[in-house]
């Protein structure tokens, strides 16, 4: 089932489940883009992306013109993007800002993290806040200031707090369904076609016992 959070003449916003690729890849598995195209009965255009093992808000444009406007908006600093992550190791401080330099590894398909730009990395900044703690897990809210490849995953791993299930970035074990506990929770912006301030929220999977236990 395609969970639609919003639809208008210019875009459709969905809640992507973990494990579903954003767009077709070499696996030839069904993608979120395939599902939206089938639902609309015509072409659609991806504006923002989510890693396959992550879940949450995806915005797709309905025309090439609207895709251009939304893409330009998302490339600016005028979109407020909030993510929820579950980690086993709580950060030393309950809230703060992380700043690193990231470089995509050519062979590892990972983001390599550096403290300065001497290795040619791009600056990556995020803010985080501890929302809730259980006995073994902690829920953080992430606000991105930049949009780099695997930014949240790599930066949290760099401070010793890899995302639950994310073995690529240092988690001790994978989740049974190969998902990671990274969820695009909230998206807020001024709509480029009507100039109205809009905000959308997507709930994490209620079928996942950890999300169910820790969500606030």
CATH superfamily of 4-214: Pseudouridine synthase (3.30.2350.10)
Is residue 163 over pLDDT 80? yes
φ, ψ (nearest 5 deg) of residue 175: -80, 150
Length of the chain (residues): 216
Q: For residue 216, what pLDDT band results from cuts at 50, 70 and 90?
A: low
In terms of pLDDT, which residue wins out, 13 or 214? 13
Least confident residue range of 12-16, 24-28, 73-77, 122-126? 24-28
Q: Can 51 be counted among the known catalytic residues?
A: yes
| Digit-coded pLDDT (tens) for 101-138 | 999 887 778 999 999 888 889 999 999 999 999 999 99
Split at pLDDT 50, 70, 90, the class of 215 is confident
pLDDT of residue 173: 94
Beta-carbon neighbour count of residue 34 at 10 Å? 15
**What is the pLDDT at residue 119?**
83
Contact (Cβ atoms closer than 8 angstroms) between residue 100 and residue 124 = yes
| Residue of 8, 29, 34, 51 with catalytic role | 51
For residue 2, the model assigns a pLDDT of 85
Q: Which of 20-29, 88-97, 122-131, 176-185 has the lowest mean pLDDT?
A: 20-29
What pLDDT score was predicted for residue 25?
86
Q: What is the SS3 assignment for 25-46?
A: CCCCCCCHHHHHHHHHCCCCEE
For the chain, which residues make up each domain, given as ranges? 4-214
């Amino acid at each position: 089932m395609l969970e639609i959070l919003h639809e208008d003449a210019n875009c459709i916003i969905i809640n992507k489940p973990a494990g579903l690729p954003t767009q077709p890849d070499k696996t030839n598995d069904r993608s979120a883009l395939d599902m939206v195209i089938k639902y609309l009965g015509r072409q659609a255009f991806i504006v923002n992306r989510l890693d396959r093992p992550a879940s949450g808000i995806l915005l797709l444009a309905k025309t090439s013109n609207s895709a251009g406007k939304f893409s330009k908006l998302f490339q600016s600093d005028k979109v407020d993007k909030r993510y929820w992550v579950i980690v086993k190791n709580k950060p030393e401080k309950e809230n703060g800002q992380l700043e690193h330099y990231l470089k995509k590894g050519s062979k590892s398909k990972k983001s390599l993290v550096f403290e300065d730009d001497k290795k040619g990395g791009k600056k990556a900044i995020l803010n985080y806040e501890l929302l809730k703690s259980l006995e073994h897990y902690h829920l953080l809210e992430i606000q991105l200031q930049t949009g780099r490849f695997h930014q949240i995953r790599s930066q949290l791993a760099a401070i010793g707090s890899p995302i639950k299930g994310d073995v690529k970035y240092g988690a001790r074990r994978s989740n049974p369904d190969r998902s990671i506990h990274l969820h695009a929770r909230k998206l807020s912006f001024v709509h480029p076609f009507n100039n109205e301030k809009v905000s959308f929220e997507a709930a994490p999977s209620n079928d996942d016992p950890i999300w169910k236990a820790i969500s606030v």
